[in-house]
């Protein structure tokens, strides 16, 4: 059974002015997501700025998220690392904290071979019982997880069940679904490509857009699954200018700016990410007005 079906939010991590995690604000965001019909919380991923967290912070955010959500919807913990040992340690602790699944990004910087990727992901998955979703984002990691590698892992490692695909390569995604006879949970990692991925047999999206428009991201998927493909397509296209604005600078710079424009006071990104450039923020503001998120 899939960990979730629909739109899961790749939730941001709010920070205080002194740079510490703002847990009170995180609780507010989690409750708003659940009220907005988000299908899953994905914590401490790229959008959650896990790359600038200490291991203690990383695990504290996962534990806090699980405690607040209380199994009302699934929680997936981002526990990937370019160090296999670190990924194992984070994954074991996330399972203890009550996470319903793991999101495992491919090792970055090391540029492992496909055999290295197989060994890495198997080593992590073998240490836990909860299901794992691989995360293929070669633009950030420098390495593509080949369809054959993903198919091999899903067939040979019981609790590796799917992949978040952010490569944008639909030929490779189609090949993956063919290699697995569709017996794999594929989620879009790109908000502008949800409907075409669903059309290939995908299970949903792990979404940045959901941070500011959870109902709409959920509805894109729900309409498609209910047979209203035209309605789903219309929502996807209506959201496209806003999605483009959310990625006019590297994620999560724009989505944090968007939440602050909405009065959420989630703080600034941690260095080396900086605040959004004024010209880009004005483009984002205009698209948010058009979408009805702010006045």
Active-site positions read 135, 164
Distance (Å, rounded) from C-alpha 203 to C-alpha 26? 26
**Strand boundaries in 166-244, DSSP class E:** 185-188, 204-207
Cis peptide before 88 (omega within 30 of 0): no
Q: Of all helices (H) and strands (E), which one includes residue 162?
A: strand 160-165
Largest CA distance in the chain: 52
Residue 37 backbone zone (phi > 0: left; psi -120 to 50: alpha; other: beta): left
Tell me how crowded residue 70 is: count the other CB atoms within 10 A of its CB. Answer: 10
Q: Is the separation of the CB atoms in 215 and 39 below 8 Å?
A: no
C-alpha distances out from residue 157 to 86, 96, 122, 124, 151, Å = 20, 21, 7, 10, 10
């Amino acid at each position: 059974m899939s960990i979730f079906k629909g739109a899961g939010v790749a939730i941001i991590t709010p920070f205080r002015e002194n740079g510490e995690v703002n847990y009170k604000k995180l609780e507010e965001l989690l409750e708003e997501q659940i009220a907005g019909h988000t299908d899953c919380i994905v914590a401490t991923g790229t959008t959650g700025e896990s790359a600038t967290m200490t291991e203690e912070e990383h695990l504290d955010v996962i534990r806090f998220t699980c405690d607040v959500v209380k199994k009302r919807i699934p929680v997936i913990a981002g526990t990937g690392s370019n160090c296999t040992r670190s990924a194992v340690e984070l994954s074991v602790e996330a399972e203890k904290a009550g996470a319903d699944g793991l999101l495992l990004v491919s090792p970055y910087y090391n540029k492992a071979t496909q055999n290295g990727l197989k060994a890495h992901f198997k080593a992590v998955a073998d240490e836990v019982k909860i299901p794992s979703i691989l995360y293929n984002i070669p633009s950030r990691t420098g390495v593509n997880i080949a369809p054959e590698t993903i198919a091999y892992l899903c067939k040979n490692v019981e609790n590796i069940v799917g992949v978040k695909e952010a490569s944008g390569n639909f030929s490779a995604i189609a090949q993956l679904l063919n290699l697995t006879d569709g017996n794999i949970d594929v989620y879009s990692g790109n908000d502008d490509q949800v409907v075409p991925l669903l059309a290939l047999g995908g299970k949903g999206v792990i979404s940045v857009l959901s941070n500011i428009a959870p109902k709409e991201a959920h509805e894109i998927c729900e309409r498609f699954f209910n047979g209203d493909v035209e309605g789903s397509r219309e929502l996807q296209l209506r959201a496209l200018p806003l999605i483009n604005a959310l990625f006019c600078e590297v994620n999560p710079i724009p989505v944090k700016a968007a939440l602050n424009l909405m009065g959420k006071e989630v703080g600034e990104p941690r260095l080396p990410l900086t605040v959004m450039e004024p010209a880009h923020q004005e483009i984002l503001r205009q698209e948010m007005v058009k979408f009805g998120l702010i006045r």
